Amino acid sequence: MSRIVVIGGSGHVGSYLVPMLVELGHQVVNVSRGSAKPYRPHYAWSVIENVVVDRLEEEKKGAFGQLIADLNADIVVDMIAFDLNSTQQVVEALRGKIEHYLFCSSIWVYGRYIAVPSRETDPVSPIDAYGKGKAESEAWLQREARLTGFPATSFRPGHIVGEGWVPTTPQGNSNPEVYSRIIRGETLTLPNLGHETLHHVHAVDVAQFIIRAIDNREASVGEVFNVVSEQAITLRGYAEAVFRWFGKEPSLTFLPFEEWLQSIEQGEHARISKGHVVRSSSHSIEKAKFRLGYQPRYGSLEAIHESVQALIASGQVEKPKS
Protein backbone atom coordinates (compact mmCIF):
# COMPACT_ATOMS: atom_id res chain seq x y z
CA MET A 1 0.00 0.00 0.00
CA SER A 2 1.03 3.63 -0.49
CA ARG A 3 1.81 6.62 1.68
CA ILE A 4 -0.68 9.24 0.47
CA VAL A 5 -0.60 12.92 1.37
CA VAL A 6 -3.93 14.71 0.95
CA ILE A 7 -3.52 18.49 0.89
CA GLY A 8 -6.81 19.86 2.16
CA GLY A 9 -7.97 16.50 3.47
CA SER A 10 -10.33 17.92 6.10
CA GLY A 11 -12.61 19.46 3.47
CA HIS A 12 -15.75 18.08 1.93
CA VAL A 13 -14.19 15.58 -0.50
CA GLY A 14 -11.49 14.72 2.03
CA SER A 15 -14.15 13.83 4.59
CA TYR A 16 -15.04 10.90 2.31
CA LEU A 17 -11.65 10.29 0.68
CA VAL A 18 -9.48 9.94 3.77
CA PRO A 19 -11.62 7.18 5.38
CA MET A 20 -11.84 5.35 2.05
CA LEU A 21 -8.06 5.40 1.66
CA VAL A 22 -7.54 4.16 5.23
CA GLU A 23 -10.03 1.33 4.70
CA LEU A 24 -8.03 0.30 1.62
CA GLY A 25 -4.91 0.01 3.77
CA HIS A 26 -3.06 3.17 2.72
CA GLN A 27 -1.02 5.28 5.11
CA VAL A 28 -2.63 8.72 4.98
CA VAL A 29 -1.28 12.15 5.89
CA ASN A 30 -3.80 14.99 6.07
CA VAL A 31 -2.30 18.43 5.47
CA SER A 32 -4.59 21.29 6.53
CA ARG A 33 -4.73 24.52 8.47
CA GLY A 34 -6.30 22.60 11.34
CA SER A 35 -9.31 24.89 11.50
CA ALA A 36 -11.84 22.60 9.79
CA LYS A 37 -13.30 19.44 11.22
CA PRO A 38 -14.19 16.55 8.89
CA TYR A 39 -17.84 16.51 7.89
CA ARG A 40 -18.28 12.85 8.83
CA PRO A 41 -17.06 10.91 11.90
CA HIS A 42 -14.91 7.85 11.17
CA TYR A 43 -12.25 5.89 13.03
CA ALA A 44 -9.80 6.85 10.26
CA TRP A 45 -9.35 10.32 11.75
CA SER A 46 -7.78 8.77 14.84
CA VAL A 47 -5.20 6.72 12.94
CA ILE A 48 -3.97 9.11 10.24
CA GLU A 49 -1.13 11.61 10.53
CA ASN A 50 -2.24 15.24 10.67
CA VAL A 51 0.09 18.05 9.63
CA VAL A 52 -1.06 21.59 10.38
CA VAL A 53 0.21 24.08 7.80
CA ASP A 54 -1.04 27.43 6.53
CA ARG A 55 -0.44 26.99 2.81
CA LEU A 56 -0.70 30.66 1.90
CA GLU A 57 1.79 31.74 4.53
CA GLU A 58 4.28 29.00 3.64
CA GLU A 59 3.94 29.76 -0.07
CA LYS A 60 4.83 33.39 0.59
CA LYS A 61 8.07 32.14 2.10
CA GLY A 62 8.61 29.72 -0.78
CA ALA A 63 8.58 26.84 1.70
CA PHE A 64 5.32 24.99 1.08
CA GLY A 65 6.55 22.70 -1.67
CA GLN A 66 9.50 21.51 0.38
CA LEU A 67 7.25 20.91 3.39
CA ILE A 68 5.17 18.56 1.25
CA ALA A 69 8.24 16.87 -0.22
CA ASP A 70 9.60 16.26 3.30
CA LEU A 71 6.51 14.13 4.08
CA ASN A 72 7.96 11.44 1.79
CA ALA A 73 4.73 10.57 0.02
CA ASP A 74 4.27 8.06 -2.75
CA ILE A 75 1.16 9.91 -3.90
CA VAL A 76 -0.01 13.49 -3.36
CA VAL A 77 -3.64 14.56 -3.79
CA ASP A 78 -3.81 18.35 -3.99
CA MET A 79 -7.33 19.61 -3.32
CA ILE A 80 -6.50 23.27 -2.71
CA ALA A 81 -4.13 24.61 -5.38
CA PHE A 82 -5.95 27.54 -6.98
CA ASP A 83 -3.42 29.09 -9.33
CA LEU A 84 -0.39 28.17 -11.39
CA ASN A 85 2.20 29.53 -8.96
CA SER A 86 0.74 27.46 -6.15
CA THR A 87 0.72 24.32 -8.29
CA GLN A 88 4.25 24.88 -9.56
CA GLN A 89 5.70 25.36 -6.09
CA VAL A 90 4.50 21.90 -5.05
CA VAL A 91 5.38 20.16 -8.29
CA GLU A 92 8.93 21.50 -8.49
CA ALA A 93 9.60 20.20 -4.99
CA LEU A 94 8.13 16.78 -5.80
CA ARG A 95 9.94 16.06 -9.08
CA GLY A 96 11.51 12.62 -9.05
CA LYS A 97 10.16 11.89 -5.56
CA ILE A 98 6.56 10.69 -6.04
CA GLU A 99 4.66 8.17 -8.13
CA HIS A 100 1.51 10.23 -8.72
CA TYR A 101 0.24 13.80 -8.25
CA LEU A 102 -3.51 14.36 -8.49
CA PHE A 103 -4.65 17.94 -9.03
CA CYS A 104 -8.19 19.02 -8.20
CA SER A 105 -9.32 21.38 -10.92
CA SER A 106 -12.94 22.46 -11.59
CA ILE A 107 -15.62 22.42 -14.27
CA TRP A 108 -15.27 26.20 -14.10
CA VAL A 109 -12.36 25.94 -16.51
CA TYR A 110 -15.26 25.88 -18.97
CA GLY A 111 -17.11 29.11 -19.61
CA ARG A 112 -19.52 29.00 -22.50
CA TYR A 113 -20.02 25.93 -24.67
CA ILE A 114 -20.14 25.02 -28.33
CA ALA A 115 -21.85 21.70 -27.64
CA VAL A 116 -23.20 19.86 -24.60
CA PRO A 117 -22.39 17.80 -22.72
CA SER A 118 -18.87 19.20 -22.85
CA ARG A 119 -15.96 16.81 -23.26
CA GLU A 120 -12.40 17.10 -22.05
CA THR A 121 -11.27 17.64 -25.64
CA ASP A 122 -13.39 20.79 -25.92
CA PRO A 123 -11.50 24.06 -25.55
CA VAL A 124 -11.59 25.62 -22.10
CA SER A 125 -12.77 29.21 -21.82
CA PRO A 126 -12.64 30.37 -18.19
CA ILE A 127 -14.53 33.56 -17.44
CA ASP A 128 -13.13 34.40 -14.00
CA ALA A 129 -9.85 34.28 -12.08
CA TYR A 130 -10.73 31.02 -10.33
CA GLY A 131 -11.39 29.17 -13.58
CA LYS A 132 -8.34 30.73 -15.21
CA GLY A 133 -6.05 29.62 -12.38
CA LYS A 134 -7.31 26.05 -12.59
CA ALA A 135 -7.07 25.98 -16.40
CA GLU A 136 -3.50 27.28 -16.40
CA SER A 137 -2.48 24.65 -13.85
CA GLU A 138 -4.13 21.86 -15.86
CA ALA A 139 -2.43 22.89 -19.08
CA TRP A 140 0.97 23.18 -17.42
CA LEU A 141 0.63 19.79 -15.71
CA GLN A 142 -0.33 18.09 -18.96
CA ARG A 143 2.68 19.63 -20.67
CA GLU A 144 4.97 18.56 -17.84
CA ALA A 145 3.63 15.02 -18.06
CA ARG A 146 4.38 14.90 -21.79
CA LEU A 147 7.77 16.62 -21.76
CA THR A 148 9.30 15.60 -18.44
CA GLY A 149 7.26 12.60 -17.37
CA PHE A 150 5.91 14.24 -14.21
CA PRO A 151 3.08 11.87 -13.14
CA ALA A 152 0.16 14.31 -12.93
CA THR A 153 -3.58 13.68 -13.29
CA SER A 154 -6.11 16.54 -13.28
CA PHE A 155 -9.79 16.15 -12.47
CA ARG A 156 -12.71 18.57 -12.70
CA PRO A 157 -15.43 18.13 -10.08
CA GLY A 158 -18.85 19.67 -10.63
CA HIS A 159 -21.00 21.34 -7.96
CA ILE A 160 -20.03 19.20 -4.97
CA VAL A 161 -22.80 18.04 -2.64
CA GLY A 162 -23.15 15.67 0.28
CA GLU A 163 -23.88 15.69 3.97
CA GLY A 164 -22.67 18.90 5.61
CA TRP A 165 -22.75 21.01 2.44
CA VAL A 166 -25.38 23.37 1.00
CA PRO A 167 -26.03 22.16 -2.56
CA THR A 168 -26.11 24.71 -5.36
CA THR A 169 -29.82 25.55 -5.33
CA PRO A 170 -32.34 25.88 -8.20
CA GLN A 171 -31.44 29.58 -8.17
CA GLY A 172 -27.76 28.78 -8.68
CA ASN A 173 -26.49 29.91 -5.27
CA SER A 174 -25.79 28.35 -1.87
CA ASN A 175 -28.54 30.06 0.10
CA PRO A 176 -30.30 27.42 2.27
CA GLU A 177 -33.30 29.75 2.55
CA VAL A 178 -34.21 28.77 -1.04
CA TYR A 179 -35.08 25.29 0.23
CA SER A 180 -37.01 26.70 3.19
CA ARG A 181 -39.11 28.83 0.84
CA ILE A 182 -39.91 25.78 -1.26
CA ILE A 183 -40.86 23.79 1.87
CA ARG A 184 -43.27 26.59 2.83
CA GLY A 185 -44.78 26.41 -0.66
CA GLU A 186 -43.72 29.93 -1.64
CA THR A 187 -43.27 30.88 -5.29
CA LEU A 188 -39.74 30.59 -6.61
CA THR A 189 -38.52 32.80 -9.45
CA LEU A 190 -36.19 31.41 -12.10
CA PRO A 191 -34.35 33.02 -15.03
CA ASN A 192 -35.71 32.93 -18.59
CA LEU A 193 -37.55 29.61 -19.06
CA GLY A 194 -35.61 27.75 -16.38
CA HIS A 195 -33.78 25.62 -18.93
CA GLU A 196 -30.28 26.55 -17.76
CA THR A 197 -28.42 23.63 -16.18
CA LEU A 198 -26.39 22.68 -13.12
CA HIS A 199 -24.16 19.63 -12.86
CA HIS A 200 -23.71 18.33 -9.33
CA VAL A 201 -21.56 15.50 -8.00
CA HIS A 202 -21.63 13.82 -4.62
CA ALA A 203 -18.36 14.16 -2.68
CA VAL A 204 -18.16 10.39 -2.29
CA ASP A 205 -18.09 10.09 -6.09
CA VAL A 206 -15.22 12.56 -6.34
CA ALA A 207 -13.41 10.43 -3.76
CA GLN A 208 -14.26 7.32 -5.77
CA PHE A 209 -12.78 8.91 -8.89
CA ILE A 210 -9.52 9.76 -7.08
CA ILE A 211 -9.14 6.16 -5.94
CA ARG A 212 -9.86 4.84 -9.44
CA ALA A 213 -7.27 7.23 -10.87
CA ILE A 214 -4.71 6.00 -8.33
CA ASP A 215 -5.54 2.37 -9.06
CA ASN A 216 -5.33 2.98 -12.83
CA ARG A 217 -2.24 5.15 -12.81
CA GLU A 218 -1.08 4.38 -16.36
CA ALA A 219 -4.48 5.30 -17.79
CA SER A 220 -4.77 8.52 -15.79
CA VAL A 221 -1.32 10.13 -15.79
CA GLY A 222 -1.08 13.06 -18.19
CA GLU A 223 -4.87 13.25 -18.53
CA VAL A 224 -7.71 15.47 -17.37
CA PHE A 225 -11.17 14.17 -16.48
CA ASN A 226 -14.63 15.58 -15.83
CA VAL A 227 -16.02 14.27 -12.53
CA VAL A 228 -19.76 14.82 -12.26
CA SER A 229 -22.99 12.82 -11.98
CA GLU A 230 -24.48 11.01 -14.96
CA GLN A 231 -26.66 13.96 -16.02
CA ALA A 232 -26.96 17.68 -15.50
CA ILE A 233 -30.35 19.01 -14.35
CA THR A 234 -32.31 22.05 -15.48
CA LEU A 235 -33.17 24.75 -12.96
CA ARG A 236 -36.85 24.17 -13.63
CA GLY A 237 -36.72 20.39 -13.33
CA TYR A 238 -34.66 20.71 -10.16
CA ALA A 239 -37.05 23.19 -8.55
CA GLU A 240 -40.11 21.14 -9.44
CA ALA A 241 -38.52 18.02 -7.93
CA VAL A 242 -37.77 19.79 -4.64
CA PHE A 243 -41.35 21.10 -4.37
CA ARG A 244 -42.64 17.56 -4.84
CA TRP A 245 -40.26 16.10 -2.25
CA PHE A 246 -42.21 18.05 0.32
CA GLY A 247 -45.69 17.41 -1.06
CA LYS A 248 -46.02 20.81 -2.71
CA GLU A 249 -47.32 21.63 -6.16
CA PRO A 250 -44.51 23.49 -7.97
CA SER A 251 -45.04 27.25 -7.91
CA LEU A 252 -42.66 28.98 -10.31
CA THR A 253 -42.42 32.32 -12.06
CA PHE A 254 -39.89 33.43 -14.67
CA LEU A 255 -38.09 36.68 -15.46
CA PRO A 256 -35.54 37.76 -18.08
CA PHE A 257 -32.04 37.07 -16.81
CA GLU A 258 -31.00 40.58 -15.74
CA GLU A 259 -34.36 41.25 -14.11
CA TRP A 260 -34.18 37.94 -12.35
CA LEU A 261 -30.72 38.73 -10.94
CA GLN A 262 -32.14 41.88 -9.38
CA SER A 263 -35.03 39.91 -7.88
CA ILE A 264 -32.93 37.57 -5.76
CA GLU A 265 -30.99 38.38 -2.61
CA GLN A 266 -28.15 40.69 -3.58
CA GLY A 267 -24.50 40.39 -2.65
CA GLU A 268 -22.66 37.07 -2.62
CA HIS A 269 -25.74 35.00 -3.45
CA ALA A 270 -26.46 37.04 -6.57
CA ARG A 271 -22.82 36.87 -7.68
CA ILE A 272 -22.76 33.10 -7.32
CA SER A 273 -26.14 32.73 -9.05
CA LYS A 274 -24.89 34.70 -12.01
CA GLY A 275 -21.76 32.57 -12.30
CA HIS A 276 -23.67 29.31 -12.30
CA VAL A 277 -26.44 30.39 -14.66
CA VAL A 278 -24.08 32.02 -17.17
CA ARG A 279 -22.01 28.83 -17.34
CA SER A 280 -25.04 26.48 -17.38
CA SER A 281 -22.84 23.45 -16.77
CA SER A 282 -23.32 20.10 -18.51
CA HIS A 283 -20.42 17.67 -18.85
CA SER A 284 -19.63 14.21 -20.19
CA ILE A 285 -18.04 11.54 -17.98
CA GLU A 286 -17.55 9.00 -20.77
CA LYS A 287 -13.77 9.37 -20.63
CA ALA A 288 -13.59 8.62 -16.90
CA LYS A 289 -16.02 5.72 -17.27
CA PHE A 290 -14.15 4.18 -20.20
CA ARG A 291 -10.57 4.68 -19.01
CA LEU A 292 -10.95 4.28 -15.25
CA GLY A 293 -14.27 2.52 -14.63
CA TYR A 294 -15.73 5.57 -12.88
CA GLN A 295 -19.40 4.95 -12.03
CA PRO A 296 -21.11 7.61 -9.92
CA ARG A 297 -23.17 6.14 -7.10
CA TYR A 298 -25.44 9.19 -6.98
CA GLY A 299 -27.52 10.98 -9.57
CA SER A 300 -27.77 14.74 -9.12
CA LEU A 301 -31.22 14.80 -7.51
CA GLU A 302 -30.45 11.84 -5.25
CA ALA A 303 -27.29 13.54 -3.97
CA ILE A 304 -29.11 16.83 -3.45
CA HIS A 305 -31.96 15.14 -1.59
CA GLU A 306 -29.50 13.58 0.87
CA SER A 307 -27.86 16.97 1.43
CA VAL A 308 -31.15 18.81 1.96
CA GLN A 309 -32.30 16.21 4.49
CA ALA A 310 -29.05 16.75 6.39
CA LEU A 311 -29.62 20.52 6.31
CA ILE A 312 -33.10 20.04 7.75
CA ALA A 313 -31.73 17.77 10.49
CA SER A 314 -29.10 20.38 11.41
CA GLY A 315 -31.62 23.24 11.48
CA GLN A 316 -30.15 25.12 8.51
CA VAL A 317 -33.30 24.52 6.49
CA GLU A 318 -36.84 24.80 7.86
CA LYS A 319 -38.41 21.53 8.96
CA PRO A 320 -41.51 20.58 6.93
CA LYS A 321 -44.78 20.80 8.83
CA SER A 322 -46.40 17.44 9.33
pLDDT tens profile 146-168: 999 999 999 999 999 998 889 99
Predicted pLDDT of residue 35: 67
Let me know if residue 62 belongs to a domain: yes
Question: Could you give the CA distance from residue 221 to residue 228 in angstroms, rounded to a whole number?
Answer: 19
Rounded to a whole number of angstroms, the distance between the first and last alpha carbons of the chain is 50
Please report, rounded to a whole number, the percentage of residues in the chain having pLDDT higher than 90: 90
How many CA atoms does the CB half-sphere of 271 hold within 13 Å?
3
Let me know if residue 124 belongs to a domain: yes
* Number of structural domains the chain divides into: 2
For residue 254, the enclosing domain spans 161-199+231-282+298-314
When pLDDT is averaged across residues 110-125 and rounded to a whole number, the result is 92
When pLDDT is averaged across residues 221-246 and rounded to a whole number, the result is 98
The answer to whether residues 79 and 218 belong to one domain is yes
Let me know if residue 292 belongs to a domain: no
The answer to whether residues 41 and 184 belong to one domain is no
The answer to whether residues 146 and 11 belong to one domain is yes
Question: Could you give the CA distance from residue 262 to residue 195 in angstroms, rounded to a whole number?
Answer: 19
Let me know if residue 125 belongs to a domain: yes
Q: What is the mean pLDDT of the chain?
A: 95
Is residue 196 very low, low, confident or very high in pLDDT (cuts 50, 70, 90)? very high
The answer to whether residues 144 and 177 belong to one domain is no
The answer to whether residues 151 and 264 belong to one domain is no
CATH of the domain at 71: 3.40.50.720
Predicted pLDDT of residue 41: 81
HEC string for the chain: CCEEEEECCCCHHHHHHHHHHHHCCCEEEEEECCCCCCCCCCHHHHCCEEEECCHHHHHHCCCHHHHHHCCCCCEEEECCCCCHHHHHHHHHHHCCCCCEEEEECCHHHCCCCCCCCECCCCCCCCCCHHHHHHHHHHHHHHHHHHHHCCCEEEEEECEEECCCCCCCCCCCCCCCHHHHHHHCCCCEEEECCCCCEECEEEHHHHHHHHHHHHHCHHHHCCCEEEECCCCCEEHHHHHHHHHHHCCCCCCEEEECHHHHHHHCCCCHHHHHHHHHHHHCCCECCHHHHHHHCCCCCCCHHHHHHHHHHHHHHHCCCCCCCC
The answer to whether residues 180 and 31 belong to one domain is no
When pLDDT is averaged across residues 79-101 and rounded to a whole number, the result is 97
* 321: pLDDT strictly greater than 90: no
CATH of the domain at 172: 3.90.25
Predicted pLDDT of residue 1: 87
Predicted pLDDT of residue 51: 95
Let me know if residue 319 belongs to a domain: no
The answer to whether residues 172 and 268 belong to one domain is yes
* 305: pLDDT strictly greater than 90: yes
When pLDDT is averaged across residues 36-41 and rounded to a whole number, the result is 75
The answer to whether residues 46 and 121 belong to one domain is yes
Let me know if residue 175 belongs to a domain: yes
The answer to whether residues 169 and 152 belong to one domain is no
The answer to whether residues 19 and 54 belong to one domain is yes
Lowest mean pLDDT among 42-51, 84-93, 262-271: 262-271
Let me know if residue 320 belongs to a domain: no
The answer to whether residues 28 and 152 belong to one domain is yes
Let me know if residue 23 belongs to a domain: yes
The answer to whether residues 132 and 207 belong to one domain is yes
